[in-house]
Amino acid sequence: MNPLVAVVLIGVVMVVSVYLVAVIDTAVETRVSGGRGYARAWLAPISRAARLALQRRTVTERPDAEAWVLGPALLGGLAAVALTSIPFAPGVDVADIPAGIVLFGAALLQVMVAVVLHGWGANSVFPLLGAFRMAAVGLSMGIPFSLVLITTAIPAESLSVGAIIASQEGVWNVLRQPIGLPVYLITALGFSFWGPLQLPDGADLAGGTSAEISGTALLVWRIARASILVSLAAMGAAAFLGGYLGPWLPGWLWMIVKTMGLAALMIWSGHRIARARMESVVLLGWTVLLPVALVDVFVSGALTL
């Protein structure tokens, strides 16, 4: 794909999907809180973004300025890189490379680095604790996340995301590997630090790694975080739900429906499931998700043989 077209495509996908994530988040919040006025869900993300764009950035006492700026930029960049490996419709992809799923996994594992840099850079206690937490979550969730993702390549006999989607023509991976999607979604919550795994930016840290940022820095951070959520949802749709495959509707529409469906599920979890304790998350990762992910690999491998 022409590089300029690729940049525009990824940019449009990120802007539109981040906006939809914000709309869904506000609508779910309104629903759970028993409030009214769903109409504001459409305007609120835009007016909030405009307000943040007008606010001046603040600085803390002696921050690590480079790390502080690099964190959000890296997070957004990683989301963009991750999206490049995913075909949005038959023949519509930026870089459906032979090892696309490895590229995606590698990009998402670097989220930990971006969040730790962001938390470290502020030179303040709550962001620093948020950075510690992201390191612990990332290390605990990284292996099961990679395992269940790579397992979807077994039936396809290819690491290309396009080939993985094509291999689900008859039956989706969510049916062939039923434990893969739940493990993927839980670990995806960890890497997007959303919902019950919103530990680095939790309310008990008054916003954690984002507690000391304001204005455009906060706007960029929120957009980057939502972009990561979208890229994880898109890969979930591609790897487990057949991507753009489906009857009646055009492929790109199926991809949007499945991606936003998974994103909505993760957003919903943020309003209905309590934030887990740090220790429980680490235990969950190492003692439950890792063995389950290994079972997923062995069973899928055996079935393929």
Partner 1 sequence: MGVREALAGLARWSPVPVFPIVGGGARDLVRDLRLRPEVELVATPRHATLLLVAGRFPSGAIPGLAVVHDQIPVPRATVRWNGEVSDEISSARLVGGDEEDLIATLVALHREMMADPSRSGPPILPDVDAVEWRGVGPYGHGGKGMTGGTPYGRPLAERAGDRDGIELDQLPVTIGPWVGALPWGLELAVKLQGDLVQEVEVGPRLSTDPPTDVFSMATRKPMTVAVLELERARHHLRWLADALSIQGLSALGLRALRLGKILTPHHQREVRRLLAMVRRSGIFGLALNRAGGEVTGSQAKGLGPVARAGGVDDDARRDEPAYRELGFQTILHQKGDAAARWRQRMAEVTQSLDLSDRAGDRTAFGAGLVEGPRGRITANGPSPSVVVLDLLPQLLSGLEWGDAVSLVWSLDIDPTESVETHVDNRGAS
Least distance from partner 1 to the Cβ atom of residue 297, Å: 27
Least distance from partner 1 to the Cβ atom of residue 198, Å: 6
The H or E element containing residue 139 is: helix 125-151
d(CA 109, CA 145): 9
Q: Count of residues binding partner 1 (CB under 8 A)?
A: 56
d(CA 69, CA 61): 15
Bridge partners, 92 (sequence order) = 89
Among 5, 12, 15, 53, binds partner 1 (CB under 8 A): 53
Nearer to partner 1, 14 or 213 (CB): 213
- Are the beta carbons of 155 and 304 closer than 8 angstroms? yes
What is the per-residue binding string for partner 1 in 146-175, x denoting contact by CB under 8 A? ------------------------------
Q: Which residues contact 277 (CB under 8 A, 6 or more apart)?
A: none
d(CA 293, CA 299): 10
Least distance from partner 1 to the Cβ atom of residue 216, Å: 10
What is the per-residue binding string for partner 1 in 261-280, x denoting contact by CB under 8 A? ---------xxxxxxxxxxx
Nearer to partner 1, 155 or 285 (CB): 285
Nearer to partner 1, 43 or 253 (CB): 43
Least distance from partner 1 to the Cβ atom of residue 117, Å: 18
Nearer to partner 1, 4 or 54 (CB): 54
d(CA 109, CA 148): 14
Among 129, 137, 149, 237, binds partner 1 (CB under 8 A): 129
Binding to partner 1 in span 131-150, by CB under 8 A: 132-133
Binding to partner 1 in span 33-52, by CB under 8 A: 33-35, 37, 40, 43-44, 46-51
- Enter the tokens of residue 245: 């495959």
- Are the beta carbons of 142 and 291 closer than 8 angstroms? no
How many CB atoms are located within 10 Å of the residue 301 CB?
12
Q: Which residues contact 234 (CB under 8 A, 6 or more apart)?
A: 83, 86, 255, 259
Binding interface with partner 1 (CB under 8 A): 28-30, 32-35, 37, 40, 43-44, 46-51, 53-58, 61, 125-126, 129, 132-133, 195-196, 198-199, 202-207, 211-215, 218, 270-280
